[in-house]
Structure 1
Amino acid sequence: MRGGLRRFAAYRKIRGMVEIELDEFAFRQFDDPTYAGTRISYDKKAFEEKVNDYYRERVNVQQEFQDRPVLVDGYAPFCKHLFMPNFVGDSITCGAIKITKDNEHLLRTRYESRSEKELPVLVRYFPKGSVSSPPASYFDLILYSREQINKESVAMGKDKPKSDAPWGLISIKAQEVPFELPMSPITVMRNELISQGGSGVPISREDYMKSVEYWKDHAITA
């Protein structure tokens, strides 16, 4: 794994400055076959390049035609969303499945942490292949500012990433719509605990209840 990180860093150095850099936190979506959520069967370097090409294209369109914002505000000032058409193909399916009377008996739970330093939390999911999911039309690319990524790294006792890219791509969500879907309730809660892998943002009761309203009727596949 470390050799792969070194090669990936060397590749970035050769290419020079990028606006959006694939953060190590998102590597699990490419490398971990047990990851509960959107898994990407695509080369990480090529994926990052595609994202930056699309970002530059959208910026140019916005500057010329005053199109809608390229980066959409997220749950905090340091968080932005870039909505991009799914360019990987039909192998990428929507990450949230509607729970029905016909499939609810297939639901499973397990404890899972997103990294070695995080506390495990209970997740609910459909085993992959147990339910059908439509191909995703869009990627919701979740970006954190470089300052926030460095802040969280220090809080977790990790070295700051050696990067000059202003944005880090920390998560990729495959979905049918080009707008933000509610994050899971446990993510809203965990975000308050920066020392345990969150972002240090206080819980908003309104946002939390919106999250519950959506996720009580949906589950991920894993």
Structure 2
Amino acid sequence: MGYIIGVFSQKGGVGKSTTARAIATTYAKAGWDVKVADLDINQSTSFTWLQRRLANGVEPVVSVETFGTVSHALRNADRYDLTVLDGAPHASKATAEGAKRADLVVLPTQLSLDDLEPQVMLANSLVSDHGVPAKRIAFALSKTGDSQRELEEARDYLSATPYHVLASQIPEKTAFRRAHDGGLSVVESPYKGPRDQADALIQSLIDRLESLA
């Protein structure tokens, strides 16, 4: 079976699907056979993103399918080099199931305590209640603004936890929203500065995954 990366959140709007799409397209560009399992059956935003990607002829092609359960999502995971679980915008039984099956659990978060605290609570629950090893959990800072102080405070907050914090961050940029509108991921944006930051975060994620293998 190939790798499984789970991208989960306790609440919506923290950059979960943004991160999942960036992971998938990065590996697909490297020649991996990648599947994104969109577990948000109510909105299916990653699946509709794929439709825009296909309509615009964006390469490489990334397989995206919507699933109601993790067990269905992973039924054919052995056919892919990488399966990315794009979780629902709230923690659930499926979150725990997916986290236990994943080689790496990525928890995106914005910089405010309103986002940081629920994601740390989710991480703690995955470890204490569901037996997910703490070393397999990594935080990804997403939708960050232009305040270096706020960024440093968020990193300091997360550094007090037992979890890994990925290097770099995905900034909040109009260019990234426009990229998604065109079926691109943030690592495919034509704007170099923001793209380089997103690339660096995904490379940090790749390094973390390989260190756990």
TM-score by length of structure 2 reads 0.26
Question: Which is helix-richer, 1 or 2?
Answer: 2
TM-score by length of structure 1 reads 0.25
